[in-house]
Amino acid sequence: MNSVVLITGCSTGGIGAALCEEFAAKGCKVYATARNPAKMEGFSHPMIEKLPLDVTSDEDVKRVVEQIAGKEGRIDILVNNAGSGAAGALLDQSMETVQQVFNINTFAILRVCRAVLPVMAKRKKGLFVNVGSIVGDTPVPWNGLYSATKAATHMISEVLSMECRPFNIQVMNVVPGSVRSSIAQNMSTSFNLPADSLYSQFLPNIMKRINASQTENSMPTAAFAKAVVSKSLRKRPPLRFSAGGNSTIFAIFRWLPRVLVLGYLWRMYSKKM
């Protein structure tokens, strides 16, 4: 029986959209969701169905999960991919922005997993796939809020991997490195240096960080999606899976003395440009 997959954050040009195509290519019934359905364009596979979903709304999440479960009778795989960038100095972020980004990147994972849990637990089968980031393990300057949300995502995934065992629900924490997507463009469009910022001299460094994930070394989105889907459809998916540009060096960073790594990253993103 082919899997029923619910994926959040499926706007065109992102990882979520590529995951939809790859899961569908493997014969899965895919429910692609985004807050604005108009931003989900160009899907080529008939097994992909688009639904509007605001992951920051309890009522909206409940509505979509009930709709899918009512129609399909099950949800086999949930991919928590919805996310928002947050470029700039950590202390330049307004508390409204901090709350908003945590709500989208982190709290939404708990919100959607909570809604899907009873559906999976009833059948004693399921998989939660939570998309984190290599900067959730080792942060870099000028993207601290995003790093904090992804660090929380990693911890949530590990705890869920234990607490969901009674229901035979597995968890896979996906940790992307540099993957070609629309995230840099979205962050560039939304970023504004506050007029009273004490970090104005570092604006070129901030822009460098925004575009760091979109270089010739970045992994093509389709290739990344193919790797993630392959792992997800295994009988025993790994608890952690990392791929993409810079994923190897960041894996090494995890084992090096922290003060040396942070010093190196600060020098990289604080040089005069």
> Which parts of the chain have pLDDT scores under 70?
184, 188
| DSSP 3-state of 232 | helix
Domains and CATH numbers, the chain: 4-268 (3.40.50.720)
Q: What's the pLDDT score for residue 190?
A: 75
Catalytic residue among 29, 150, 226, 269: 150
**71 catalytic residue (yes or no):** no
Closest CA to 47 of 65, 28, 64, 19: 28
Closest CA to 146 of 199, 185, 105: 105
Two structure tokens written together for 174: 């996906």
Q: What's the pLDDT score for residue 188?
A: 67
Q: How far is CA 112 from the centre of its chain?
A: 13
Cα angle 51-157-253, degrees, rounded to a multiple of 5: 115
Q: What's the pLDDT score for residue 184?
A: 67
**264 catalytic residue (yes or no):** no
Q: Which residues pair with 29 in a beta bridge?
A: 4
Cα 10 to Cα 38, 81, 102, 237, distances in angstroms: 11, 8, 19, 22
Cα 142 to Cα 18, 32, 169, 187, distances in angstroms: 27, 31, 36, 12
Catalytic residue among 146, 226, 264, 271: 146
Number of H helices, E strands in the chain: 10, 7
Report which DSSP code applies to 179. Answer: B
Tens digits of residue pLDDT in 153-186: 999 999 999 999 999 999 999 999 999 877 767 7
Q: What's the pLDDT score for residue 272?
A: 84
